[in-house]
């Protein structure tokens, strides 16, 4: 095998249409664009969603749904993650900044502590929100759950 012997696989290449090269080619004259109108001319671009004059799908289908503008979204952090951080850092108090530094949430996220997992270290946890089960487990381990203002 040599470079000069290489050819594309059979059926993988097509010859391009040669448009506007005379009537004998079968694609002369209007160059397969039909007669007259915007689509026959150079520079034609239709709007996004244009369906040739047919009522477009975004107007055929009804509006639905609701986006609550006052919704507050929290990043969920489980007690298992807090247990791991507390053991690694040997800290007695963890706040929102510690959790963000550990990579559990982004800088702008609000954090809610959920009760999945076990906690057997007495730790004071400060966060934006807590679930009831998380508060119960934190207090059972001898810690405190503090909600930030």
The structure's pTM equals 0.59
Instruction: Print burial letters for 130-146: b (CB count within 10 Å at least 16), e (below 16).
Output: bbeebbebbeebebebe
Q: CA 64 to CA 55: how far, in whole Å? A: 19
Q: What are the tens digits of pLDDT across the range 53-86?
A: 999 999 999 999 999 999 999 999 999 999 999 9
Per the prediction, the chain carries an average pLDDT of 93
- Please tell me the distance from the alpha carbon of residue 9 to that of residue 143, in angstroms, as a whole number: 70
Domains of the chain: 74-147 (3.100.10.10)
Query: According to the model, what pLDDT value does residue 91 have?
Result: 84
Percent residues over pLDDT 70 in the chain: 100
């Amino acid at each position: 095998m040599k470079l000069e012997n290489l050819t594309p696989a059979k059926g993988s290449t097509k010859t391009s249409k040669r448009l506007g090269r005379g009537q004998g080619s079968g694609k002369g004259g209007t160059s397969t664009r039909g007669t007259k109108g915007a689509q026959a001319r150079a520079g034609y671009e239709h709007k996004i969603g244009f369906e040739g004059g047919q009522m477009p799908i975004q107007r055929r289908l009804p509006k639905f749904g609701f986006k609550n503008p006052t919704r507050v979204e929290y990043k969920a952090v489980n007690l298992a993650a807090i247990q791991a951080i507390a053991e690694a850092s040997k800290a007695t108090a963890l706040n929102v900044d510690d959790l963000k530094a550990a990579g559990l949430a982004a800088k702008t996220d609000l954090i809610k502590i959920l009760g999945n997992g076990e906690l057997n270290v007495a730790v004071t946890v400060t966060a934006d929100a807590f679930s009831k089960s998380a508060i119960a487990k934190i207090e059972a381990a001898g810690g405190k759950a503090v909600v930030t203002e």
